[in-house]
Amino acid sequence: MKIENILIEHFPRLKCANFFILFDQNFADVSSVRVHLRSMEIFVHFDNTHSTTIDLELLNINIQINSLSLLIAKDNLISFRINTASSFREEILPINVATTDVDTMKRLKLNVCTDMEFSIVCDNCSGPLTNLLRFRRILELPSENMDSNDWFCHKPDVRLCNGGNGSSSHHHQQLFNATSLIPNENDLLYGNFFALIHRSHIVNIHINSKHRMLHCKRCLSHIGECVSESAVKFWNGNVKFIQNIDAKISNRLFHDSNSLFQNFLIIVDRLTYDYRMLGRQTLKLLFEANTVKGTTFLFIQTMARNLELYQMNKQSNLNRATMMRVDGIKCLFLSEENTDPTLVNFWQKDVNVISAYISIGMLDATVEHLHILSKYVPEQFRINNGFCLSYLSKGIIINK
């Protein structure tokens, strides 16, 4: 029996830490498990024959050895709380922190640029979904929580719209809707891991007339949505692009596309950053994803953003486990296909709720990840009014 992973929540101001230790076997397979505390180490003994040491030196946590409480051992999880010896006689708070990394994270980077010739293909079968594309402008859409009327830079070039004279303002207004930000034929507009293009470019696509969903005609995979009579939306995780100069190379439209869940975390950071810029400290996030069966919702209520969170280092051996710091958000979440409409309406009317649309693939991947990470928390502490406790973190790893 060995430790699969360890998660530690440290609350220095409360002078306590929560420990969650996951094992690769059920406790029914061993006769005894004992936990011994020292100031900088924790010893876990199995059947009096094997022990694993959890090294806390890198965490700078001094634990009080007689303060263990809330000990729970069930299935393959041990959890407990201990008090820590922390002092706040002197504390240094960072000021004027460089924002380079933050700003970089907030900007979405595309793998395509203006005047590049490329076509968009289905991620599942590589079937072509568009004609050969070449855009004069590639612009980011405003956040769904911002006023799009202020984004005047997205209006088409009047000279290009009117044969170079720019005299017909009526014609200009017909070609561009400042409220809906519909692209013209020469524009590619993009948002949180989706791209909007003019409908005239698409080929080999079936449009569901009832739900306005886009499906590849070759394999029937869901690839996007029909936004209006003149614009379609492609989800980054469902399509790829191929350059005309080298048809063998295919990439995602967006540069940071490691996984759907990591892209979701970037969206969360971007949305909360927008609301902080507006002077709000939001605690609730509401995500919607459209399917042929209807709309699926994901409710997330954040509990702790700047949490000192640690997990077992991947380089740890069987006898000694070292810890490393990971970034994460502690939260409550709820996602059901048949969501209570009363709850949806209540959240949608709450001014402190951030709302956004994502792809159904991203929503499913996020819910799966949240359910996996919820296994760290004992069942009696996990559920609250139908919501489940979990973590939003790309650093925490657990076997499915």
How confident is the model over 176-193, as pLDDT tens digits?
Answer: 443 457 788 999 999 899
Name every residue whose Cβ is closer than 8 Å to that of residue 337 and which is 6 or more positions away in sequence: 293, 294, 296
What pLDDT is attached to residue 279?
55
- Rounded mean pLDDT, 300-308: 84
Question: Mean of the per-residue pLDDT values for the chain?
Answer: 80
| Residue 94, pLDDT above cutoff 60 | no
Please report, as a single letter, which amino acid is at residue 258: N
pLDDT digits (tens, 9 = 90+) for 136-185: 999 888 766 655 555 555 555 433 333 344 444 344 333 344 345 778 89
Residue-level pLDDT at 149: 57
Tell me how far CA of residue 250 lies from CA of 23, 107, 108, 114, 187, in angstroms. Answer: 41, 22, 19, 17, 21
Exposure string for 116-147, b = 16+ CB within 10 A, e = fewer: bebbbbbbeeebbbbeebebebbbebbbeeee
- Of 27-31, 161-165, 191-195, 356-360, the one with minimum mean pLDDT is 161-165
Q: pTM for this one?
A: 0.83
Higher pLDDT: 322 or 246? It is 322
Instruction: Return the pLDDT at 154.
Output: 55
Nearest alpha carbon to residue 393 among 298, 307, 313: 307
